[in-house]
Structure 1
């Protein structure tokens, strides 16, 4: 299976050698804007939109969404040199400064986590790519979180790109090969793993007071929701493949559909304690509401077909109830989809694809046929308890986030030459002059 495009730069060896350069026991990497093109993301950046710079033009193309990407953030110039002089060696300061410069171009990584006295020495600045909202925090763990978050967003972005028609046809049918869908699943699992690691291994390192200054999209519940959303969309693709496979039984399809409902419901629940007042939070809530309705429609459809296999009249009544509910949910999901697309930033209404490609017709047809067959049963016993909508069965969830680990610490932190450099008075005064000039 092809490696995920967002991990490919000049060479994986070069990438790995930078991974551990900065981070004392544990840190991270990201690519430069030039690397984005090599990673396969450049084609998704509109040609009339410059990345960075005051003269950036905003593109007017309304994008299509298959995999929802809340936001992509990029690093902004931060002064690494002056805050660290006298605290660590000149060699280390120079290397950190050069690597941070690469990060600003969207490359490499940094980190000052070995010693707590250095953790808050540098102010790290990041901004959102679409609206230039900037967040500056004096925390190396914030930098780690930002880089891992960006890796996750790039993985989601790449997954979305692989599912969108390459010919740019508006409203064109999505034709995606099975191999491409497997690559999408790989990217989604990587994104989920990065976000899951962020929640359980990075956020716990950051004091509550520091986290209060974080933007809404870095809240714990928000990161958890997007991690689970990525797993849900993996199951969505699996369900679509199962629906096209003759060997897949109704029970298998129902199980996947019920799992899909659980994943999207869990993701939606994670946002219950979050501030979702900004555009990112509102858009994510609407996306999860829409996808959860679609998942329930499919789950009730397959549950109804399974129940209808039973010989008792009660089975047929319950089946009709399920199919009727599925039909209502399909109608509601179309409205929810429109609400999502119209919410800022506006996105194009996508064509039905995957499992929903045929469900918009299958479900109403099945509901009509079954009611024609068994409608008389409802008339025979109008007060029957079987005429209520049955609960969907619950199944153990089959997918977990892909394991993610920060790279190993660079050996420079163990080198005796990395001790703080003692400056002469003249050098210290020169540094002070340099700092005043830069301001």
Structure 2
């Protein structure tokens, strides 16, 4: 589709000449002889770009700019000005104009400028679209549940996030340590800056230093080049160092200096560089024991645990299982092109009595596998792997089946209501319930 351009100029000759040139270039062009006519046209049509003279009788270009921003804030607005009024054009840019051109202008240069503006505008729209897409995905990557334990963690996150303090997140694998780190970043003043998670255990020990701090290389002709490390790449943002216990002992002092002094020196370099990075670290090991064994510096340990969040295992947060199950089903329905609605009572009972040694990660993997096997819209025991079915249930928490079923039912109905934009008639159809039955369920399960 060709871009639509509106030309606003009280000089008929200039207006027609511009229209002819832009039409020949393939643009869809409309014209207006004054600001009043332009605003009327903009009420009826959307334009990709408005090209407007700054000085016109009646309504001038600045007022047209204001009207354009009100009616179509995403439209590119370019001011045309004579040499003597360039300052006015610059002032217009501070008010939101995209650019300006000086009359009389070279058409070749003018057309190149338009192409550049359209390209930049397209890239901005793509960027906005990607940010929305990432935001949508991030909504599926959040801490899920309403247990007492999780609420304590969320309260800690809310207190810690606004600060710049280092945070140590501890807990077994699969408990959601990275999700906590993301939550801290997303609620912090650095939320619009990069968040970079790094698994130190996955980087060869002899490469960790160059990855974190960068290195200076020297070519055969004697020139040097700096390859920036992650501390520079993520400048202004948050660096999440997972498996912090695996960092080599000889690098721990350098990391401590980076945290305390906010200074780094690249390998092979001499210049001290200032860095602005918040450090969040995580481990599934007991760092105090690592300190005792001489594998971890005590001063670094205390610097990292200015604030500490301990993630409980899933078996200690069983009240969150129904919400997590529904969350993972909703996520994987999209990825697997399925329409699974939930789990049956027997599966719910097994889930609530299982130990989940792999924690939330194991639960998600179980849900994904069951959904792949599931041929109906409800996951049943036949969709679960035999080793899970044969596992001995450990129900030391006295979980009552009725309570489990109610929790699963509540989460499922809430999810369907959200999908139906809280249209209860549509939701009752999706749930295969009568409307009175849905209202009764909402009341019984205390769904707000």
Q: TM-score range by the shorter chain?
A: under 0.3
**Could you tell me the TM-score, scaled by structure 1's length?**
0.23
Greater fraction helix: 1
The structure whose RCO (Cα within 8 Å, separation 6+) is larger is 1
**Could you tell me the TM-score, scaled by structure 2's length?**
0.22
